[in-house]
């Protein structure tokens, strides 16, 4: 199917983009790997596409005192290959490497992925576990939105009309932290049927903190309380017990022809146990 007719604009500054996005029916375009398929299906019918992909500086990746900042236009391929990301946040580089296929990773962007808020996307789950902040800008100014407040529901975020994601900031993780993203990928699309991000912090042989997020099962990624791990020594039993909290956190699971809701919840528990154990193993560096 062809998209409905639309106008196309390609601003080269943020101010120009904001001005164009002020028009009725205008929509930002980044890598186009979610928006264009939706337009072809006529699920999305923007009057004007505002192609932000040529705005300089929006693809920068930087590590500084505030943590790791990934520009909205950084492609999945660039994040996956970045030595800065691999050094400071290995789980994020690995998450990027698991997205789609080479073509999708070459065009798809961090900003586009989280703005689209597909429940089966990979970044949202990992960013929730990492406690990221989404940095936005619009004619009204800039905002910093905690990732837990950013995802509202399926394909719905806290972004306001005319507002752009400019970057995402991930707070620095203390030494002795390990992180792992595991997913059961859909065989056709590679999207996450279930995706699990686990972060474990250790000191002196004891767990000092842990975070777990589940994607693909609800309308938005879900944080699971695994604080019971704090103070424990890592073992298969303590991780199995912590993973037991997953089912209770996942009310109304998504089900489809490929995987029922019940199956997804079961899978999430299994992957959570494995991800927590693997994250703990990585705490040694
Ligand atoms: C075959 C295929 C397989 C895929 N597999 C996976 C997968 O395994 N895992 C996964 O996570 N994803 C997968 N994707 C999705 C892919 O990661 C997309 O690239 C991504 O979801 C959207 O990024 P984009 O840059 O292409 O955004 P676009 O398609 O350009 O835009 C998507 C939405 O975000 C908005 N937008 C874009 N940038 C911004 C911004 N900076 N600020 C505000 N709004 C913005 C647009 O207006 C639009 O609503 C797949 C896609 C395809 C086609």
Answer whether 79 contacts ligand 1 (Cβ < 6 A).
Answer: no
Model pLDDT, residue 116: 98
Answer whether 72 contacts ligand 1 (Cβ < 6 A).
Answer: yes
**Which of 28, 110, 128, 142 for mutating ligand 1's site (highest number of atoms within 8 Å of CB)?**
28
Model pLDDT, residue 134: 98
Model pLDDT, residue 153: 96
User: 35 near 117, Cβ under 8 Å?
Assistant: no
Model pLDDT, residue 284: 85
pTM for the complete prediction? 0.98
Atom of ligand 1 nearest to the CA of 159: 43
Answer whether 168 contacts ligand 1 (Cβ < 6 A).
Answer: no
Q: What is the C-alpha separation between 85 and 199, in angstroms, rounded?
A: 16
Model pLDDT, residue 164: 98
Residue ranges in the chain modelled with pLDDT below 70? 285
Atom of ligand 1 nearest to the CA of 189: 3
User: 121 near 113, Cβ under 8 Å?
Assistant: yes
Answer whether 190 contacts ligand 1 (Cβ < 6 A).
Answer: yes
User: 130 near 209, Cβ under 8 Å?
Assistant: no
3-state secondary structure string, the chain? CCCCCCEEECCCCHHHHHHHHCCCCEEEECCCCCHHHHHHCCCCCCCEEEECCCCCCCCCEEEECCEEEEECCCEHHHHHHCHHHHHHCHHHHHHHHCCCCHHHHHHCEHHHHHHHCCCCCCHHHHHHHHCCEEEEEECCEEEEEEHHHHEEECCEECCCCCCEEEEEEECCCCCCEEEEEEEEECCCCCCEEEEEEEEEEEECCEEEEEEEEEECCCCCCEEECCHHHCCCCCCHHHHHHHHCHHHHHCCCCCCCCCCCHHHHHHHHHHHHHHHHHHHHHHHHC
- Give the chain's radius of gyration (CA, Å): 19
> Of 251, 176, 250, nearest to 210 (Cα)?
176
Place of tokens 């309380």: 225
Answer whether 30 contacts ligand 1 (Cβ < 6 A).
Answer: yes
Answer whether 99 contacts ligand 1 (Cβ < 6 A).
Answer: yes
């Amino acid at each position: 199917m062809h998209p409905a007719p639309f106008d196309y604009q390609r601003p080269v500054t943020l101010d120009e983009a904001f001005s164009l996005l002020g028009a009725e029916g205008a929509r930002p375009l980044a890598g186009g790997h979610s928006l264009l398929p939706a337009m072809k299906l006529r699920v999305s019918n923007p009057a004007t596409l505002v192609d932000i992909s040529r705005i300089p500086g929006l693809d920068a990746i930087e590590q500084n005192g505030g943590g790791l900042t990934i520009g909205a236009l950084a492609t999945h391929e660039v994040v996956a290959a970045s030595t800065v990301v691999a050094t400071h946040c290995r789980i994020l580089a690995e998450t990027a490497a698991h997205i789609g296929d080479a073509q999708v990773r070459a065009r798809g962007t961090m900003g586009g992925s989280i703005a689209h808020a597909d429940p089966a996307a990979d970044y949202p789950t990992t960013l929730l576990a990492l406690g990221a902040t989404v940095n936005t800008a619009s004619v009204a100014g800039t905002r910093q939105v905690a990732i837990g407040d950013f995802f509202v529901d399926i394909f719905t975020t806290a972004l306001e009309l005319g507002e752009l994601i400019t970057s995402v900031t991930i707070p620095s993780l203390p030494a002795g932290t390990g992180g792992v993203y595991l997913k059961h990928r859909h065989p056709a699309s590679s999207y996450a049927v279930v995706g699990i991000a686990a972060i474990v912090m250790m000191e002196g042989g004891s767990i000092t903190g842990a975070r777990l997020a589940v994607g693909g099962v609800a309308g938005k990624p879900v944080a699971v309380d695994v604080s019971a791990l704090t103070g424990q020594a890592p073992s298969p039993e303590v991780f199995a017990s912590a993973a037991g909290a997953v089912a209770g956190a996942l009310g109304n699971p998504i089900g489809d022809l490929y995987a029922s809701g019940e199956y997804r919840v079961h899978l999430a528990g299994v992957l959570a146990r494995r991800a927590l154990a693997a994250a703990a193993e990585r705490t040694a560096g």
